[in-house]
Structure 1
Amino acid sequence: MQLFRDISLCSSLFSLFLYSISSQQRLKGHPLLWIIPSKVCSKCNAIVWKEEKVNGKKKLESYYTTCCKNGKIILPHFRRAPKRLRRLLNPSNLDAHSRRFREHIRSFNSMFCMTSHGAKIDYNVMRGKGPYTFRMHGQNYHAIRSLIPEPPNKPRYAQLCIYDTANEIENRYRSLNRTSLPSEAMEIMDKEIIVDVKLELDSVNGYVQEFRKERDFHEMNQTAEFALRLIENRNRGLSNYNRPQADDIAVLMLGDEFEENKGRDIIIKHKKKGFQRITELHPSYMPLQYPLLFPYGEDGWHMGLQNHNLNGKNRKRKKMSMKDYYAYRLQQRTTEATTLLQGGRLLQQFIVDAYAAVEEECLCWIRNNQRTLRAELYKGLCDALEAGDSNTA
């Protein structure tokens, strides 16, 4: 029951962020009542509140738009998480390892994420006595380091899959900046959890498997220059969406090959100082940052997603927006695995991250479409009004 309330709260908060409630939908004069949603969308099977429905033009016609835009948004369902990870995420599982994992899920995700999180996180608000709150400041971005760390730096993020893997468990455990050291018993438990998660990701995650290939190549060719290209425009059939194969998402490049960049592909070099930013338009943006929520490396939003064509009519908008994509993903369905929604505190971070990506996309569109918006004409009008020129002749 607690999980259901958490899922409902997160989904409703995201809906409130993204969708303005029309006067027709607004409950005027009524206090906000916390009621577990009991209705099911006939198009996508999302569990929704009765008050979220939109009345159609015809009598007795009603439908839901916050989940799937009344059938316009269709995405492949998430698969169930691998067995070990599913046990750790399950809120009904009360063993010590599962409770430890869920309580510190953001820390465990940081041990396995392959990209860094660029925004400044407000830790003060997390230490309050009220409900857990995740808040960040500044511009948000994800970035990735070179494949091999520069001496004397220790491996971080994706480097942990490639460099010094003989000590990988210890390296992952020590990768966090801890304010206090846990007890010996907690350290043993944490390392046991790390082993379980590592085994699962090694067996099912396409990104991890590709980085393991780079490890094998590096061990056999210590002096060779190489790079990894993360492919943006790749085969995305429904059968390939929920579990993309390593060969579909990335390719190893040798010598001068990696000097040539194609489109939005991301090239991660063998050795390079600093970070390389990953655009939120790339399908690997979220799965690289949240491997515990996307254990199979499922694609995130990308520019190739299309709205479903209902009844063969001409569509005004053919491309699926990032906003609609995340609104669809943050729904609980009777026909879909709840791995993403079982993330607890990590889910809260994901929602904030997704909202920041949506805002960034909107700002980018406004910046690149000034002529469409006639922003210059509007600016001239504002300048005239400020100058007191109200002559319409």
Structure 2
Amino acid sequence: MTSQDAPRRATIADVARTAGVATSTASVVFSGKAKVAPATRERVLAAAADLGYAGPDPRAASLRRGRSGIVAVVLEGHLRTAFLDPVSTALMDGLTDGLADLSAGILLMRDEPGDDGASLVNAPVDAVVLIGCSGRTRASLDIVRGRGLPVVVIEGDAGEGIPRVTLDNADASADVARHVRDLGHHDVALVTLPLDNDRERGIVTPERLASATIDVTIDRLSGMREVFPDAPAVSASGSFIDEGLAVGRELLADESSRPTAILAQSDLLAVGVIRAAEELGLRVPEDLSVAGFDGVDVDGLGGLVLTTSVQPAVEKGRAAGEQVARMLRGEDAVTLHLTCRFRQGTTTAPPSR
């Protein structure tokens, strides 16, 4: 299709005409610089939706005002829990480093529908970084692409042409699992991150796995089951110590069927499992081996050093920031693949039985 054949992008004037209001009124609805009667606002937004108008063209705004100097970062789930995970903090540190040459500010947004999702339509940002690409973040991706903004996705499949920063989640998880198998463990259970946006805690059935949407969880589980194909798995509602504690209690409750090792998809979940074992009087690693994933500093391990796969979280964020900077300089961005490093700690040992 040639540029002459391509459909014309709807303008604010088209929206105003369809809604039966003045162009200035329609502009105010999108800018938010003045109050508009609720009925008028709804009429304008309905007309915009019908015409596929996603908001002011950021390229035109750039010509008028220059760049905003802001990069939006869309996080999965609630912002109030986003930085309870040290991985998120390290990633944001790296992202800030990667954007340092731009002196850009960072606007944190969430992938939930509603007010925050709507603000992505007209937020005054120069580029967007999406953390993961589940169902909700794909909706955010559609908005960003409609605006023509540069976008980078961290650990998620965003489709053709979108630069990504990926991690060897499957291979790294398999490395941890092989270590546990080589120690002699056969009765192994798995604790996964959430499977989808519902973030339900529960047994990972074939049906739930078939409908899973979070790539990180799927990939890490694939690596674990490459080594332990029949290992039972339970999904946590998030990467929290309390979630690991709850799932650990569930997996260790029946003495007759207790696993000799539990592999968790994050270090925080692994620490929770260790606490559940301690509640039952089990010793780690003598009675139960536990391994995690991430390689972060976690309190509550006493003298233990967690066996885990150390991911380059800071480098992951820095790589995303650098690709954003490249695109804003008019250069082509590239997809980068990073690798993890296995670290043997003192929380795994041969089974006692």
TM-score of the superposition, structure 2-length normalised? 0.23
Bigger fraction of residues in strand: 2
Relative contact order (C-alpha < 8 Å, sep 6+): which is higher?
A: 1
